[in-house]
Amino acid sequence: MRWSSALVLGLVQLCLASPHAKRWGDMVEKHSWTQIPTGWEYHSAPSPEQLLELRLGLKPHKMDELISTLYEVSDPAHERYGKHLSKEEADAFIAPHPKAVESVEDWLQHHGIDPSEVTHRSDAGDWVTVRVSVAQAEKMLGTKYGVYHHAKSSDYVVRTLRYSLPRDLHSHVDIVTPTTYFGTFRSMKATSFIQPEITPLELDVDTESLKVGEALSPDAVPPTSCNTVITPACLRTLYNTANYTPKATAQNSIGLAGYLEEFGNRADLQTFYNRFLPNAAGSSYTTVRVNNGQDDQSDPGVEANLDIQYAFSVAFPTPGVYYSTAGRPPFVADSQTPTNTNEPYLDWVNFVLSQSTIPQTISTSYGDDEQTVPADYRTSVCNQLAVLGARGTTVLFSSGDFGVGGGDCLTNDGTRRKLFQPAFPASCPFVTTVGGTIRTNPEVAVSFSGGGFSRAFPRPAFQDAAVSAYLNAIGNTNSGLFNASGRAYPDLAAQGQGFQVVIGGRVSSVGGTSASSPTVAAIVALLNDARLAAGKPTLGWLNPLIYKDLLPGFNDITSGSNPGCGTNGFTARAGWDPVSCIILDQPTLVAECFDCF
């Protein structure tokens, strides 16, 4: 029997195509939700022609080595302490393996995407972007997209409840977005709030203010008014920074990450300075726009003004940078423009890591419940924050304003168990997380101060002694409601209530750990200034240093609690605790410890 030439050709093509098709057809789930994330509802099916900017985070080839390096350069006992990485050195660690690049390109070509259509979004090559239709993305990821609505923020996004990748790509691709992360710039939480119950100070009434470098007794205490309302003079006296004048302002800077279409108002800053820090009047800051971020001076934001006015006043005259990070336009049905990716942190951290020079201290006052953030997204963002630390930047996040958890605290894994709800990125081990306090003599943990234990990230070894001591002390209290082996936070704390903020030309009282984080960031910036002026490297990732035994420069907070989830939460005690932890006392650390590390 003779084979027809057409049949032979068809069999040859089948033999050539089958291994390739089999390779990319063997799909394995990457992430899925058991239910639509809380606060969101299905709205409609997107148009199949709707365009998405599909972003692929390729697995860094030497991430484990970078994290090992981070530990070494952050440990005062290590010979590499302070020898932070340059941008080029960091890029070499996080670059993907050539095989990963080759596999992803092969997969994209299998789906008809030409290499010329692929955009590399980072110098290290670990992020690539392709513009595809919803129908094509569904085919590539073995999923179905939907348009989902978040009623509270009025956001509409295109997301999916699950997605898959070919088995061969799981070892090469960390994350694909937009997929299962439903957080957006407008739906995540800013950790600040107006406090109308605290009467604000008037602009035209003279109250105590301080000039930078003005001499104060080391034993000076804040006036009793600081128990109710906080001004820069309160903070500079309480945390003993008033006698220090920055000397390395040509080398040092402090940054603030802004989202939620929040804009700092320069006129409000001048009003604030004239009222509370007169010798800073006339100075300003730099706004850096990320992802087409705006700087609308007609729309002052509570969060932005709070962060800017206190971080830059306490650290004055250290140069300040405000990052205005925007999301893309919201979803519009049948539009042919890319839909709303709007994923917090990734746009900002990718941008910052692409810069050769970045601020040595950066504070961020936003977060989500950890359980609402997919594991692949959490890991990717946390690893990128580790890169910032390896490059010598101290990254601080507020701990949140819901104690051990807000709302009903039910898990979203289908079991609906009531558990304490840690916050992210506060729970990332590579950031320094800041809780809140009130009053001045002594300071007490404020009840809303977020704190607890991650259910996603294990506890770093340097926390073992301090955290174990606390766990032993509380015994079975709250047993089963938290992960005792998880990364514990906060790491530091500072005042968090009654901050006097100028908004639209008027003073308002504002509270939240959004006030605490920029305060600590300003103190760290002063520490960095002193180190740079002495020819020493910046502090970088603080956490291994914070938990060192007998480190001077800290005051312990031993009272207060952070209730939530229908419980009393955790109670502050001597030593570390997941409510307020310890607060920085700047001059002691500068004077006594610079020779130690």
Q: Which residues are catalytic?
A: 303, 307, 514
List the alpha helices (DSSP H) in 346-479: 346-353, 375-390, 464-474
Q: Which residues of 557-576 are buried (b: 16+ CB within 10 A; e: fewer)?
A: bbebbbbbbebebbbbbeeb
504 marked as part of a ligand binding site: no
Q: Closest Cα partner for 430 from 467, 463, 464, 468?
A: 463
| C-beta contacts of 460-464 below 8 A and 24+ residues apart | 460/429, 460/487, 460/543, 460/544, 462/543, 462/544, 462/547, 462/548, 463/487, 463/488, 463/543, 463/547, 463/576
575 marked as part of a ligand binding site: yes
Q: Closest Cα partner for 344 from 322, 377, 314?
A: 377
Task: Find all residues with CB under 8 Å of 68, minimum gap 6, and list them.
Answer: none
| 127, 354 contact by CB (below 8 A) | no
557 marked as part of a ligand binding site: yes
What is the sign of the dihedral through the CA atoms of 25, 26, 31 and 32? Answer: positive
> Which residues face 345 on adjacent strands?
none
Compute CA 256 distance to the chain's CA centroid, rounded to the nearest angstrom.
11
d(CA 270, CA 252): 22
Compute CA 175 distance to the chain's CA centroid, rounded to the nearest angstrom.
18
Compute CA 203 distance to the chain's CA centroid, rounded to the nearest angstrom.
34
* Residue 109 parent element (H or E): helix 98-110
Q: Helix, strand or coil for residue 194?
A: strand
What tokens were used for 438? Answer: 């009130």
Q: Closest Cα partner for 255 from 330, 210, 215, 307?
A: 307
d(CA 159, CA 268): 39
556 marked as part of a ligand binding site: yes
| 586, 523 contact by CB (below 8 A) | yes
Rg over alpha carbons for the chain, rounded to the nearest Å, is 25
What tokens were used for 109? Answer: 């070509």
Q: Is residue 521 classed exposed, middle or buried when 0-12, 13-18 and 19+ CB atoms within 10 A define those classes?
A: buried
What is the sign of the dihedral through the CA atoms of 4, 8, 9 and 14? Answer: positive
Phi and psi at residue 92, to the nearest 5°? -65, -35
Binding residues: 556-557, 575, 577
Binding residues for Ca(2+): 556-557, 575, 577
